[in-house]
Amino acid sequence: MSAGATQRHDQRRRRAGGFSLVEVLIATAISAIVLLGLFQMYNANRRTYAKGEVKINIQQNARAAVDLVSRELRMIGYDPSHTLPLLGAGTNPATTQRAIQSATATSIRFVADVNDPAGTGPDGWGDMLEYTYDPVCMQVRRKLWIWNPAAGPPDFVAPPADNACIEPPPIAEQLDPTLATVFRYFYYDAAEPNPALKFKELASPVAAADLTRIERITIQVGTEGVAPMGGTHAFPLTSDVRLRNI
């Protein structure tokens, strides 16, 4: 083989010999940079999705609870079959025959006709309800006493015994454990000259003599949840309820 042919053969072998170590290292570095960018983008999208999902869940949790509480608070005093006059008759009607039985910063007990045993609407008799915020379980729970007109004397049927965090079932969970005030109570002061200040707040717990003065209730809840790699997210919600039947 001539020298020229040998030289051409060697050149072809060098061209077909693959990548050099430097080229492989450069390609690896470029690939790592691209993959790192893709991973960071994926990770950011995943965190955003997780945060959004947690926010939606805690918002729905708060809204569902506040909607139910607001709707039933508007029923306070709705008593078409006159259950209230029978409540505590002959014992202490001055303190028992009232639509709102008790009112504190974290609970309210009241009488309203909300029971629907036949599936066609309220049964006409007043029922006693209680909403309570439990900071240990971070829940708002609803307890219902159903009126039994056939009992002697007529009285409410007691609900199942309390079982912390289980019974009565919670209507809202994952609440802010630092909540100190869930319910605030207001009365209308006709003598107040400033129209913006007509509603005055009653101190909690509301005294027995002032329970019949309540005309407006403010509900304040805050739910919270932890998103993976996204920290804790809170959602405060407030609802203002004007009482219709007292």
CA 95 to chain centre: 32
Say what the pLDDT of residue 91 is.
Answer: 52
Least confident of 5-19, 24-38, 121-135: 5-19
Residue with tokens 């802010």: 176
The mean per-residue pLDDT over the stretch 32-41 comes to 84
SS3 sequence of the chain: CCHHHHHHHHHHHHHCCCCCHHHHHHHHHHHHHHHHHHHHHHHHHHHHHHHHHHHHHHHHHHHHHHHHHHHHHCCCCCCCCCCHHHCCCCCCHHHHCCCEEEECCCEEEEEECCCCCCCCCCCCCCEEEEEEEECCCCEEEEEEEEEECCCCCCEEECCCCCECCCECCEEECCECCCCCCCEEEEEECCCCCCHHHCEEEECCCCCHHHHHHCCEEEEEEEEEEEECCCEEEEEEEEEEEECCCC
pLDDT over threshold 70, residue 193: yes
Confidence at residue 13, expressed as pLDDT on a 0 to 100 scale: 59
Q: What is the pLDDT of residue 9?
A: 56
As a whole number of angstroms, the distance between CA 48 and CA 43 comes to 9
pLDDT score recorded for residue 218: 95
Q: What is the pTM of this model?
A: 0.74
User: Mean pLDDT over residues 11-15, rounded?
Assistant: 59
Percent of the chain with pLDDT over 90: 26
pLDDT at 192 over 60: yes
Share of the chain above pLDDT 70, in %: 78
pLDDT band (50, 70, 90) for residue 219: very high
- Average pLDDT along the chain: 81
The pLDDT tens digits for 102-145 are 999 999 999 998 877 655 556 778 889 999 998 888 888 999 98
Per-residue pLDDT of 45-91, as tens digits, reads 777 766 666 677 777 777 888 898 999 999 998 888 888 888 766 55
Predicted local confidence at residue 17, as pLDDT: 58
